[in-house]
């Protein structure tokens, strides 16, 4: 692993972790954190408090991982490094937006993403291409419809305040015609 990759990896890990805050001094780190961060000891004093906190949290996360989790994290980091700066910035902004969602919206988004990931790769690509080819205003409308219906909601717009009444199978629902008075009656 390149010498500068661990701090970035640890910072990325810490974005996902909800760990407690840490002090800014090297001596305030646990021995395990110090061991994990030893390659960066000389840079420590030049880091901002936020960077130190992120690295300390990331070190805790790294320490708690088993070998498979570390391998997976390293793979994700390598994919991150392969992205263009513009794509990284875009993803960082999307993460900020996600964190501003309320917990219900976050859960719904995770469920939709999970369903999408279960689709065959060719179907995922078809949907991506279809979405990318849409004009911006149509994409915005599609996103709004997805928000309205939630992960398991209706596929068509309806009045969601009233339950939909449907006749039993085999029976047709007829509209009642106004009764006409008979002549001479």
Domain boundaries defined on the chain = 1-83, 101-149
**What CA–CA distance (Å, rounded) separates 138 from 33?**
49
CB of 155 closer than 8 Å to CB of 161: no
What is the structure's pLDDT at 11? 52
Gyration radius of the chain over CA positions? 27
User: Tell me: the pLDDT tens digits for 72-89?
Assistant: 999 998 999 999 999 999
**What CA–CA distance (Å, rounded) separates 181 from 124?**
62
**What CA–CA distance (Å, rounded) separates 180 from 109?**
55
Q: Ramachandran region of residue 113, left (φ > 0), alpha (ψ -120 to 50) or beta?
A: alpha
What is the structure's pLDDT at 158? 47
- What percent of the chain is modeled with pLDDT above 70? 68
Above 90 in pLDDT, residue 9? Answer: no
Above 90 in pLDDT, residue 162? Answer: no
CB of 22 closer than 8 Å to CB of 56: yes
More confident residue, 112 or 179: 112
Which among 5, 13, 62 has a CA at the least distance from the CA of 34?
A: 62
Torsion of CA 134, 130, 156, 137, to 10 degrees: -10
What is the structure's pLDDT at 63? 94
What is the structure's pLDDT at 183? 61
Across 36-40, 41-45, 109-113, 169-173, least confident range: 169-173
- What percent of the chain is modeled with pLDDT above 90? 44
pLDDT bucket at 46, cuts 50 / 70 / 90: very high
Average pLDDT over residues 101-110: 90
């Amino acid at each position: 692993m390149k010498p500068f990759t661990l701090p970035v990896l640890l910072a990325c890990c810490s974005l996902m972790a909800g760990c407690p805050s840490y002090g800014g001094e090297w001596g305030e780190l646990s021995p395990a954190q110090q061991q994990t961060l030893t390659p960066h000891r000389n840079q420590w004093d030049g880091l901002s408090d936020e960077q130190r906190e992120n690295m300390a949290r990331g070190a805790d996360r790294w320490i708690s991982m088993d070998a498979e989790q570390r391998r997976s994290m390293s793979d994700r980091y390598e994919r991150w490094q392969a992205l263009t700066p513009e794509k990284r910035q875009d993803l960082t902004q999307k993460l900020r937006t996600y964190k501003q969602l309320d917990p219900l919206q976050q859960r719904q988004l995770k469920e939709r993403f999970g369903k999408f990931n279960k689709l065959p790769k060719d179907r995922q690509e078809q949907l991506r291409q279809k979405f990318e080819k849409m004009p911006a205003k149509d994409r915005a409308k599609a996103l709004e419809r997805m928000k309205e219906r939630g992960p398991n909601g209706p596929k068509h717009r309806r009045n969601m305040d009233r339950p939909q009444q449907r006749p039993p199978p085999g029976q047709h629902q007829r509209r009642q015609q106004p009764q006409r008075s008979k002549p001479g009656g």
